[in-house]
Structure 1
Amino acid sequence: MSANHGANLYDLSSKYGFSKEEFMDFSSNINPFGSSKLAKEYIINNIDMVSMYPDPDYTKLKDSISTYCNCLQENIVLGSGATELISSFIESINPNEALLLSPAYSEYEKELSKIGCKITKYFALSEDNFKINVKELIKSINENNYDLIVICNPNNPTGFTFSADEIKEILENTNSFVMIDETYIEFTDRELFSSTKLVDNYKNIFVIRGTSKFFSTPGIRLGYGLISNVEVRNKINSHLDLWNINIIASTMGEIMFVDNEFISKTEDLMTKERNYLYSELNKLKEIKVYETQGNFILCEIKSKKLTGKLLREKLIPNKIIIRDCFSFDGLDEYFFRVCILKPEENKLLIENLNKIFD
């Protein structure tokens, strides 16, 4: 893992003498409550499936995704993680100019740079609490006639989220293709914020999701995209390998996307812990805490007594890892981000921050 993608537990374990399991990794925005028990039990009880090829059409997997996202099965494309789909989509539409809402995940810029695309960054500002006015954004898009708009929704690291109605407004009032990365959408009110319901009716939107974060399965490398533009969808599929999803990932997806008990329980747990952590962080007078719809919270050290990097270094000996945000364009060295972990870990984080800022 590069520095731009959070902590490298292997390096930290070697440096500090702790096992990887001992660290409380608040830099990793993965659901800490684990993955679907139903899906894992099925894999364990049917492990001999590894001797079979996956269904090349992934019919059952797409059925589950279609039910989960309320979209047509024919509009689903599958990838080995969300990053593969980001790359394939950008290569397929080959934009000359793109607008990247920032701060943002570094892979967007990396993939756009590969094809020589001119990149303009539209920065959300701390003085606006990182909120973006959709009408001002639309005006900027139309003034510059961008080929592609890249939006992470909820945004990582700020937590700001456009509603589905606001995304619809962008689609209806611009001529640009809009790529929406919904990696963290399950931590929000999906009915209000998710754009999947727009896909079947609009040809200029591509919604990307992964299963690493909410479903806590980064190891299976399963991502999916939703797009009704047939020409672009066919190009994306032409860039992907046959059987690009292994049979373990495919089978887990078939089950976990319709494991409603797991989904509901995880939503409740994460919302409760996010509310707790947000409330407790707000009690620290030296820190400004930004509103979030994600499973992470962006903070700014107002007192400037120490940087995010120094705060991170102070916490590591206590087996706590946070993310300093200096690598994100538009954020200075006083920003840091914490993700939502289990109740006892969240309490320990607050206790340690209180000691440092007391």
Structure 2
Amino acid sequence: MKVNHGANLYDLSSQYGFSKEDIMDFSSNINPFGSSKLAKEYIVNNIDKVSVYPDPEYLELKTSISNYCNCSIDNILLGSGATELISSFIKTINPKKALILSPAYSEYEKELSKIKCNITKYFSKKEYNFTINIDNLIEIINKNNYELIIICNPNNPTGFTFSKNEIEKILNNTNSFVMVDETYIEFTNTSIYSSTSLVDKYDNLFVIRGTSKFFSTPGIRLGYGLISNYKVMYEMNSNLDLWNINIFASMMGEVMFNDNKFIENTYSLMTKERDYLVNELSKFTDLKIYNSQGNFILCEIKSKSITAKEVREKLIHKRIIIRDCVSFDGLDEYFFRVCILKPEENKLLIDNLINIFK
């Protein structure tokens, strides 16, 4: 992305004259089924802790994350959202040459540019359905001696996902730091795709996760990074503020990472609705639908009968917001992305797209 990160519901509601609550935001890749009920109840029942400082070591929160991610508690860094950790890690290792797997989240390039890093983009291509050949990638990395490789896994917006075994192959066959952004990993089968269990084994791996998307908690600003490289860990910790996680974010994390019923139910609901949307969107002769492991689906208007921006404008008047993808490097004006919402909203999206492409 070059400019924005999605729809601004405040601006849209003001511009079009309808309330934010009436907007169906298919541009926002946040779990629409809400956050852990157990975690929210825990906050409500302990609201008086607003007068208490958080534990500066965050021991209970880190224990919860350690169990959830199957990694050592000593290898956990906490941040006020994932973006803070992306910035801190890049500043700490200070690479001179970096490779970003693209299309990608704009913050990677933004943070690398701040340190005047030489940035190369490795583009997945639509001719190969945005899949990436791991052997070719490793060859390119070694040929150019990149100090940092940045991978969003699953990739936003294409939905392509490396398996844990493929990430391990990169780690075993290169000398680069590898930063894996797992913002959307919980929408996949984590036993196959997540790299968190590799952190204890490889000191050149940094895995980033947030709680905004899957756990539907963007308001608490809780992110965490996993790394076993003591030198990098120490320097990053030295630059993080004391009590950088507020007590309610910490408390929510302590509960929701252990709320297995919520986790399993969310994964099941999101997978079912993603399958529904993929199936229905694939019926459109005008569209090509790309396989996704994320909670979003990349669509291409292959007929070129209308641009993604024009589709977006038509849907806005129906209070439906999608993401046209022209701001993603490597994607043209015929790509758009839809995220997974609730069943009735997903059906309404399909009905409105039928009217546009009929």
Q: TM-score, normalised by structure 2?
A: 0.99
Q: Is the 8 A contact 2:208 2:225 kept in 1?
A: yes
1:31 shift after superposition: 0.1
Rounded to whole Å, the distance in 2 between the matches of 1:6 and 1:239 is 30
Q: Which residue of 1 aligns with 2:77?
A: 77
User: SS at 2:206's partner residue?
Assistant: strand
Rounded to whole Å, the distance in 2 between the matches of 1:245 and 1:62 is 12
Q: Which residue of 2 aligns with 1:24?
A: 24
Where do 1:142-221 residues align within 5 Å? 142-221=142-221
User: SS at 1:34's partner residue?
Assistant: coil
Rounded to whole Å, the distance in 2 between the matches of 1:234 and 1:203 is 13
Q: Which residue of 2 aligns with 1:292?
A: 292
- What amino acid sits opposite 2:287 in the alignment? I
User: SS at 1:30's partner residue?
Assistant: coil
Q: Which residue of 1 aligns with 2:44?
A: 44
Rounded to whole Å, the distance in 2 between the matches of 1:300 and 1:3 is 21
Q: Which residue of 2 aligns with 1:240?
A: 240
Rounded to whole Å, the distance in 1 between the matches of 2:200 and 2:278 is 36
Q: Which residue of 1 aligns with 2:228?
A: 228
Q: Which residue of 1 aligns with 2:326?
A: 326
Rounded to whole Å, the distance in 1 between the matches of 2:239 and 2:218 is 22
Q: Which residue of 2 aligns with 1:33?
A: 33
Q: Which residue of 1 aligns with 2:263?
A: 263
Q: Which residue of 1 aligns with 2:91?
A: 91
Q: Does 1:252 align with 2:242?
A: no
User: SS at 1:111's partner residue?
Assistant: helix
- What amino acid sits opposite 2:68 in the alignment? Y
- What amino acid sits opposite 2:17 in the alignment? G
- What amino acid sits opposite 1:242 in the alignment? L
User: SS at 2:288's partner residue?
Assistant: strand
Rounded to whole Å, the distance in 1 between the matches of 2:50 and 2:309 is 44
Rounded to whole Å, the distance in 2 between the matches of 1:255 and 1:304 is 48
Rounded to whole Å, the distance in 1 between the matches of 2:64 and 2:140 is 38
- What amino acid sits opposite 1:124 in the alignment? S
Q: Which residue of 2 aligns with 1:63?
A: 63
Q: Is the 8 A contact 2:153 2:162 kept in 1?
A: yes
1:305 shift after superposition: 1.1
User: SS at 2:150's partner residue?
Assistant: strand
Rounded to whole Å, the distance in 2 between the matches of 1:110 and 1:19 is 33
Computed over aligned residues only, the root mean square deviation of the Cα atoms, in angstroms, reads 0.7
Rounded to whole Å, the distance in 2 between the matches of 1:155 and 1:307 is 23
1:4 shift after superposition: 1.7
For residues 259-288 of structure 1, the C-alpha deviation after alignment (integer angstroms, 9 at most, x for no partner) is: 000000000000000000000000011000
Q: TM-score, normalised by structure 1?
A: 0.99
User: SS at 1:29's partner residue?
Assistant: coil
User: SS at 1:35's partner residue?
Assistant: coil
Which 5+ residue runs of structure 1 have no aligned equivalent?
Answer: none
Q: Does 1:112 align with 2:112?
A: yes
For residues 232-253 of structure 1, the C-alpha deviation after alignment (integer angstroms, 9 at most, x for no partner) is: 0111111210000000100000
**Residues matched between the structures, number:** 357
1:3 shift after superposition: 5.1
Q: Does 1:53 align with 2:56?
A: no
Q: Which residue of 1 aligns with 2:126?
A: 126
Q: Flag as ranges the 4+ runs of structure 1 deviating above 6 A.
A: none
User: SS at 1:315's partner residue?
Assistant: helix
Q: Which residue of 2 aligns with 1:102?
A: 102
Rounded to whole Å, the distance in 2 between the matches of 1:238 and 1:112 is 20
Rounded to whole Å, the distance in 2 between the matches of 1:309 and 1:289 is 17
Q: Which residue of 1 aligns with 2:274?
A: 274
Rounded to whole Å, the distance in 2 between the matches of 1:182 and 1:78 is 15
Identity in percent: 74
